[in-house]
Amino acid sequence: MDDIIIRRAKREDVEKLHWALTRLSEDIDDDHAASSADLLRNGFCRVPGLLRPSGRGSEWR
């Protein structure tokens, strides 16, 4: 497993990211409701949704 590289995902990675998240959800017996379009819209906008503060204090969700 020496060939694993961790890097920031790019817009062109959305389909691979969606596949990986779907597979992870299956492995942990959870639902993965987000589509590739959802990931693109919320994960790769000017302020990505995964990094956006929730609005109260300094908590990040």
CB 18 within 8 A of CB 34: yes
Tens of pLDDT along the chain (61 residues) come to: 688 888 888 889 999 999 999 999 999 999 888 899 988 888 777 666 665 555 554 444 4
Give pLDDT, residue 60: 40
Number of Cα atoms under 13 Å in the Cβ half of residue 58: 0
The span from the CA of 37 to the CA of 43, in Å, is 10
Give pLDDT, residue 18: 92
CB 48 within 8 A of CB 14: no
Give pLDDT, residue 1: 65
The span from the CA of 4 to the CA of 50, in Å, is 23
Give pLDDT, residue 26: 92
Give pLDDT, residue 4: 84
